[in-house]
Structures are given as structure tokens and as C-alpha cells.
Amino acid sequence: MDITYHPIGIIHSPFHDIAAMPIQPSGALGIRGEVEIYPQFAAGLQDLDGFSHVILLYHFHRVQEAKLRVVPFMDSEPRGIFATRAPKRPNPLGMSVVRLLAVEGARLRIENVDVLDGTPLLDLKPYVPAFVHATDVRVGWLERVQAQVRTHRSDRRFQ
Amino acid sequence: MDITYHPIGIIHSPFHDIAAMPIQPSGALGIRGEVEIYPQFAAGLQDLDGFSHVILLYHFHRVQEAKLRVVPFMDSEPRGIFATRAPKRPNPLGMSVVRLLAVEGARLRIENVDVLDGTPLLDLKPYVPAFVHATDVRVGWLERVQAQVRTHRSDRRFQ
């Protein structure tokens, strides 16, 4: 079964190289970027300006192959790909929650951007904490290292 | 630019009809389902059992067409599709955070399921609150109605 999508826009960021990047939005505080929505989709942005945060779903366009086990940026042991956010996924879908600073026509000014410049955007959703019910959260192998996400940077391992 | 994905598995739930469904996981508390990961991807599940919640990214397979403005389930006014979670999106990608009860081989037992039975799964990510930095959250048109998500049910408007 083939599922074919087409980008609705493109993400612009200060990151032109996959190394030395923040690895999650919480490691990218204050870093600004823009989302350029293609004109044919601009009408879908109505009402978005009432939201402070948006979920970007995008295609990791620089990924060449999938791996089922990877050593994540914040670890030294191989982990199952679905227990990580690493990009070499069977379907290389990325997800980031960013702050929405402004909607200017079909351009979104955003902050806390951990995305490579030129990344194709597939979907944009409002971030609504009340839609998630998550109590007693456990984060497995990340428990020990998750605080590092604020300072840890990417390298070339997923090139 | 075509981006082609292939399902990594299938989501099983008690919902066989798009009407009268919960519209978000927080409206589906205690409702159980299963994710069947296809055998060729099972190795990617290693270490997932340490996580209490997972993010399901799936294809709204019953959607026939996109709309840029929709009247959402919890509202009576048209809104831009990207300011809603409605399924008739240009790329019909769905996202739900569910509780992970157990990993049994290539089957995940899950809870708080708001997904139609038979939905193709595209990706599975660990839910890690520390990866999101979201302060002073505003939720636009949903501010007034978001509490209804616990009881409101779907209808056939997005068929």
C-alpha cells in the first residue's frame, strides 16, 4: 500500500547543516524560523493566529535509508528506532511543537525551531494540551538523559 | 514533489464507524485497542516498553478529499483546516498520544484510543514531555469549547 503526500510548504531555519543542531524544540529556545505555506493552501491558515503553539509534521528529506536500531544522539547504546526520535525511520516523519509568533499572509514566524532549513512541511496542527491525557508518564531509556536535550547537539550519525 | 510512505502496521480499535467516535484521546479514556506492527519492523520496537505513552502517526484512510475550511466537531463556524484537527487535510495525517499498556512481540496493547479500526500506522514515537517547551499556551477558537472534548462525539461530516 503506497500513501503519497505532497508538501504544503517549506520550513526555513538557521540550520543549513545536519551537524551541531538542536535535537528537539526544548533545545532550540529562542531560535527563530519561518514556515512558508504554498499559496494554494493559504486559506487553511484562517484562525491559526489564535494559537500560541503549532505542531509541525515534516519529511526528513535528507534521510537516505531506514534503520531499525540506532544509537540516539543522547545515548551510547543501540535502541529500537520507534523508541527514539531519530530520523532514519521507516517513514521519515518528523514532528516538532514550535511557538507561533505571527501569521503574516501565508508565512508563519516561529520560534524554538529544531528543523533543517528547506525541510518540506506535510501538515500543521494546533497544539492543544487538553487533547492529550497523560498521567504517570515514564520515558524509558530517556529518563536518565532527557535533561541533556537542552544543550546536546546533533552530529552526522544519521546522514 | 511526491513523498511516498508505506504503513508499518495497523491500528485495531472498537470503532468500526466514523460516527459516534471520541474525537481525541482525552475523550477516549479507558478505551482499549491494539497496534499490530508488521513483522519486518518488529526489531524497531526494542526499548519501547519503558515508555508509558506513545505518539501514533497514521493515515486517515477513509478521507476522500481535502477541504481548506471546515466546521469542526466542536464548533458551528468554518475554521481553517490547519487550525483544526479535522481529517480532511491536504495530507490526511492523524496524530494521537495513547497510553502503552504492554508490548507483546509485535503487538502493542494501548489505551485511550480515538482511532478508527483498520487505520494504517505510519510512525510510532515515544511521548517525551521534556522535548516540548510550551509556556503561556493559547488555543484560539478552542478556548471556549475544549472541555467538551471529553464527551463530544464525531458525526459523518468528514465522510
Residue A153 CA to residue A147 CA, distance in Å, equals: 13
Note the pLDDT of residue B31: 96
pLDDT tens-digit series, residues A140-155: 999 999 989 999 999 9
A113 within some domain = yes
Note the pLDDT of residue A103: 98
A88 within some domain = yes
C-alpha angle B50-A96-A109 in degrees, rounded to nearest 5:
160
Note the pLDDT of residue B55: 98
Looking at the 3D structure of chain A, how many domains does it have?
1
B35 within some domain = yes
Residues A9 and A121 sit within 8 Å (Cβ to Cβ) = yes
Residues of B in contact with A54 (CB under 8 A): 82
B22 within some domain = yes
Grid coordinates of B19: 460516527
A18 within some domain = yes
B88 within some domain = yes
**What percentage of chain B reaches a pLDDT higher than 90?**
97
**B141 vs A50, A80, A91: nearest CB:** A50
Three-state SS across chain B?
A: CCEEECCCEEEECCCCCCCCCECCHHHCCCCEEEEEECHHHHHHHCCHHHECEEEEEEECCCCCCCCCEECCCCCCCCEEHHHCCCCCCCCCEEEEEEEEEEEECCEEEEECCCCCCCEEEEEEEECCHHHCCCCCCCEHHHCCCHHHHHCCECCCCCC
For residue A70, the chain B residue with the least C-alpha distance is B44
Note the pLDDT of residue B159: 83
Element at A37 (helix H, strand E): strand A32-37
The DSSP secondary-structure symbol of B95 reads: E
Handedness of CA B68, B73, B77, B82 (dihedral sign): negative
Enclosing domain of residue A51:
9-150
The widest CA-to-CA distance across chain B, in whole angstroms, is 46
B75: left (phi over 0), alpha (psi -120 to 50) or beta: beta
A156 within some domain = no
Note the pLDDT of residue A72: 94
Distance from the Cα of A156 to chain B's closest Cα (Å) equals 21
C-alpha angle A66-A70-A73 in degrees, rounded to nearest 5:
115
**What percentage of chain A reaches a pLDDT higher than 90?**
96
Note the pTM of the prediction, 2 decimals: 0.97
Q: In CATH, what number is assigned to the domain containing residue B74?
A: 2.40.30.70
What does the pLDDT average to over B59-88?
96
The gap from C-alpha B57 to its chain's centroid, in whole angstroms, comes to 7
A124 within some domain = yes
Note the pLDDT of residue B139: 96
Whether residues A134 and B127 touch (CB distance < 8 A) is answered with yes
Q: Are strands A3-5 and B107-111 parallel, antiparallel or unpaired?
A: unpaired
pLDDT tens-digit series, residues A83-120: 999 999 999 999 999 999 999 999 999 999 999 999 99
**B52 vs A8, A125, A137: nearest CB:** A137
